[in-house]
Every structure is written in structure tokens, then in C-alpha cells.
Structure 1
Amino acid sequence: MHESHFYPMISILTVWGLIILFILQPGIAHDGAVAGAKLFVHALLPYLLPYIILTQWLLKMPGNPKETPKWRRYIKAYVLGSFGGFPVGAVTVTEMLKNGELTKKQSSFLLAACHAPGPMFIIGFVGTELFGNVSNGWKLLIAIHIANLLFFILTILFMAKDNESESVQIRPHKPSSTLPLLDAIKESSSVIILVATTVIFFSSLGNVLSTVTTSAFTVDMGIAKTFALALFEMTSGVQSATEHFYHDAIFPFLIAAIISMNGLSIHMQVFVIAKAGNISMIPYVLGRVWSILFVPIIFYLAY
């Protein structure tokens, strides 16, 4: 079969296979979707929405990219993107590309470096509710940012040789909005809808696949459910890990690994946002491998 026909056929078969699974397991799919919706409302929305709106508002303020040193644009991207939670980094970098503050090459590397869970999520949800210890939440947050900053420094060193500094495309000037806050709220709503959709869908999918796996093979339900949910949806994964491994010594480091892995839900959010700016995803993939390797190690040393 020709390659151009092979991949579409695989996609079609995969979609129909998932549709059949959802039809055969409607109750489990429903439970997964409900769990994903609850996690989104209680663990993500309160921490993510205010920061996305404020970030969008700040990015819409007028400025002149030509007069801003390159290093200051990098710092701006990191501070706004890395402290806002997933997928604020992608939103920030894409918006800065649209504003003419970054080149395509700079955007692709900063997309990878400016990617971290928000402090409110790690300290408030993971530290307080999952670890039951705020200080351990701080330690995990520090471990994430140490790994990110190391990657960020490598990124800056790599881009120091970047000859594209003059190829930044300055967009035609648009009249400043008289209501930038409303514009920020409007654009933030599309990001929130994207996050909610992916979280609920992948939570449902992970629930169904983990149940099918444990039915077909001799696999511990806790392990299968945690692995499947962590693979598809990070927040559901850490919730499952808490339910099944809370009293194990490995629990804090398992949470660190799941958060570093992010899950397909977050990767899909970043992909959709970055695609709007035609930003390369290769550095982003390398950045995720870097985080998976180093965040649990740094957290272990600080724990």
C-alpha cells in the first residue's frame, strides 16, 4: 500500500476503534469525562484563567520590538510563559511572534523553554492537596524551573549565533484597542475552551483504555489507570497516582515524573496553538525529554 494511503487508513481505523470502545464502555467513558471535567473546574480553571487573561492583556499593550534588546524579549517570554501554567508559554510565544517580537527560529526554541506548570497549580493543588505539604510543592516548583532555566540558558547560547535578528517581521501597525482587557478576555476564552476539551476527552479516553487493558491482561488496576491517565492527561494522572500510590515512598517522585511528562492533552494544546504561528515543534519535543530526565532527579536531590 502506498504511504500516502497508509497513514490516512491507520487514522481512520484508530478513530473507529476508539468509537467502538466508547460505545462498548459508555459508563466508564462517562465516568472519565466527569472526572476530567471536575479536575478542570477545580484544579485548572481557577489557577489558569486569571493568568491567561493578564498575560494576553500585557501582550496587547503597544510596544516597539525594534527598540527592545533581544535578551529582554527572551526574558519576557520566559517570565510570562513559564509562570502562567500550561499552555500559557505557547500562547505567549505565539503572540510575540505575531507581534513581530520574535523570529520563527527564536519562537521554536522559546516554545520549548517557556513551558511549565503555574506556581498556583504546583503549590496550591499539588503541594497543598496532593502532598499535604506546601514546602514540598515549592521544592517541586523549584526543580521544574531549575531544569527549565538550564534548558533556557542552553537555548540562549544556541540562539546567540542566530543571524535572524534582522529578519523579525514587524506586522503592520494596527490601531490600539480602546478595550484591551475585553480583547484579552475574548482571546483567552478560546484557549480555555481548548484546555477544557482536551482535558475532558483525554481523561475519558485514558479511563476507557486502562479498564480495557486490565480486563484483557493481568495488570494491576492502579498501575494501569495511573499510567494510561498520565500518558493522556496529566492532571488526571496525578489524581490517580494519589489514589493508588499515596502511601508509597515513590509517590512524590512519581508525581514529579507525571508532571514532567505533561501528557498528550497538554501536548495537543501546545501543538494547536503553535500551529497557528507555524512554529517548529522539534525543540519542544527535545525540551520535554530534558524535563522528564532532569526534573525528578533535581526534585529527589532537594526533597
Structure 2
Amino acid sequence: MKKSFFRFCSVAVLCVLLLSPAAATQGAKNGLVLWATVVLPTLLPFMICSNVIVALDAIHILTFPFRGFLRNFLKLSDAGSYILVSGLLCGYPMGARNCSDFLDGERITKAEARYLLSICNHPSPMFLLGYAATELPGAVPVWMLMAAVYLPVVLIAWLSRKLYGIQTVSPSLPYSREAQLTFDESLMDSCEVMVKIGGYIMLFSILVFYITGLPLHNPAGKAALLGFVEITTGIRAISGSIPSMAGGMWIAAATAFGGMSGIFQTKSVIKNAGLSIRHYVAWKAVHSLLSAAIFILLACCRQLPWAA
């Protein structure tokens, strides 16, 4: 049944592309420009450096300033702490990639990997400050967006630990030198992942181009749909169609969810069968709802007399 559905979808997509090749070409160009000018230069260097840090077994140096909080409060091992920090600093899908690689390399347990996948994959602060902040409606301060996106991580971590049975700090597993990559291997591995990410960005940019051209008479609804599909275009559409705090709330929710493009990018880097993309999507949906709720709460607090 599932295979038949995807066969039908693939044929339908091919027919649409053949009927409107100009739109498909323009959408693909938009996606490749986005990949080459934004995603590739900001993500590839971090991927290469991450591989080198892991190969040199130097993750404890990066995580040392946050070790107390990550171990005592979030119950993460040293390797798990590195996965969370790299995911927060580098953005989609770096956290999920490291989570899968560390599980494959037996540096973290399967329970900790499942726990980490729920909290380690987020938009980077550079994306929020460098792109999303410039698209925010004028009435929305940047700190509200940052708080709405990152504060839910604490609550999701608590829920995830309960679900996956993480009660104490996971043991630090020995590092196998046999799994160490040379610099050339690290470079090629990172480039392979970037090509996969670029392919998904191109495909979803084509879909975004088609959605943008739909004759819908509800600009706000179209903008929200674009945010659900791909966050970069979606944020710009939401900013232009939904004013004031409502626009900020939708931007926070879309950014936290990551879009369908982000989900497929994440799926492409999860190579270990012990990690479930369905669980990941569920956690991102919860994160998106919590981000919207926190944004509304912060907006209401700003209206109180003592906050004026």
C-alpha cells in the first residue's frame, strides 16, 4: 500500500514537471542558489571541523564550559553533550548527523541517541540573527524569537528523558581509533552529505515555487503553508502577509519545526536503524507548538503595565 502510494506520487510529480518545465527550472535554480550561497558556506566548514574534532578525540575541550549543566541537568554524557552543542551552534541537520554517526561508532547508547534526536536538531543562532531577525515584523524583538525557539528544548528534554528512560548520565563509551577518519575521508564524507542536502533543497524549492503560484485568495494561509514546507521562503512570506505579533508567532513556530525540507534533510543523514524519523517529526511538532505558546505568553507579558 505504501509503495503503491509513492509510485503514484512519483508519476504525478513527473507529469507536473513535464507540463510546466519553466516553473520547475526556476524553482530548481532558486533552490541551488540558496544551497550554494547560504547553506554550503555556512554548514560545510562546520561539518569538516566537527569530523576533525571527533577524530582527534577533542570533544571534551569544546563541551567543558557547559559540562556541569549538560551532565547534571540534561543527563548527557560527554559525547552526547558535544552532539547537542554542535547541533545548536551549526543548525540543521548537523545535530542529527552527529547523533547518527556517534551511535554508529558506539560512542553513545541507543537510548541516549533517541533522547538526543529530540533536542539536538535546531536552527542555528546565525540563521536566526542573520536571516530570520531581518524578516521579523517591526513590532517583534529578536529576543522573543530566540526565546520562543530555544526555551522549549528544556521542556522537551524532560519529556524525552521520561519517554526513553534516561534517569542518570549515560556512560561514556570508549572511543574506537579504528573508526577515525583521515582528513580526506572527512572532507569527502562532508561533501557527500552536502550534496544530499542540496538535492532536497532543490526539490522543495520547486514545490515552493508551485505553491507560490497557486491562485489562493488567502495570503496568510499560503504563507503558513510555505513555512510548513521550507522555512527560508516561508519566513519571508509570513513576514509579508501576517503583520505584528501574529507574524512573529508563525515565524517562531515554522522555524522551530524546520519545514518538510528540514525533515527530509534530517532523514538523509540518519543512517542508523535505531533512530526513528517518525519520532523526530513528532518531537518537532511538539517543539513548534511550544514555541508558539511561549511566544504568545511573552507577547502577553509585554502588554502588562509592569513590563511597559
Q: Which residue of 1 aligns with 2:147?
A: 142
* Cα 1:185–1:142 shift into 2, 3 Å: farther
Paired residue secondary structure (1:113): coil
Greater shift, 187-196 or 68-77, is seen at 68-77
Unmatched 5+ residue regions in structure 1?
Answer: 1-5
Matched, 1:21 2:27: no
Residues 247 and 267 from structure 1, CA distance in 2 versus in 1: closer, same or farther, beyond 3 angstroms? same
The CA RMSD over aligned residues, in Å, is 3.2
**Contact 2:27 / 2:208 at 8 angstroms: preserved in 1?**
yes
Q: CA deviation at 1:85?
A: 0.4
Using the alignment, how far apart are the partners of 2:245 and 2:51 within structure 1? 41
Paired residue type of 2:99: V
Question: How many residues end up aligned between the 2 structures?
Answer: 286
Instruction: Give matches, 1:76-225, under 5 Å.
Output: 76-127=82-133, 129-131=134-136, 136-159=141-164, 161=166, 173-174=177-178, 179-180=182-183, 182-211=184-213, 213-214=214-215, 219-220=216-217, 222-223=219-220, 225=222
Q: In structure 2, how many angstroms separate the alpha carbons of the residues matched to 1:245 and 1:92?
A: 37
Q: Summarize deviations over 1:154-190 as a string: whole Å, max 9, x none.
A: 3345555569967x9867541855x54x443322212
Contact 1:103 1:164 in 2 (8 A): no
Which residue type is aligned with residue 220 of structure 1? H
Aligned to 1:292: 288
Counterpart for residue 253 of structure 2: 257
Describe the superposition over 1:42-86 as per-residue Cα deviations: whole angstroms up to 9, x where unpaired: 333333233222222222223799xx9853333222112222100
Contact kept, 8 Å, 1:198 with 1:268, in 2: the verdict is yes
Aligned to 2:304: none
Letter in 1 for 2:135: L
The answer (yes or no) to whether the contact 2:105–2:176 under 8 Å persists in 1 is no
Which whole-Å CA distance do the structure 2 matches of 1:64 and 1:44 have between them? Answer: 24
TM-aligned CA deviation for residue 270 of structure 1? 1.2
**Residue 260 of structure 1: CA displacement?**
2.1
What is the one-letter code of the residue matched to 1:251?
G
User: Which ranges of structure 2 fall in alignment gaps of 5 or more residues?
Assistant: 61-66, 300-308
- TM-score, length-scaled by structure 2: 0.79
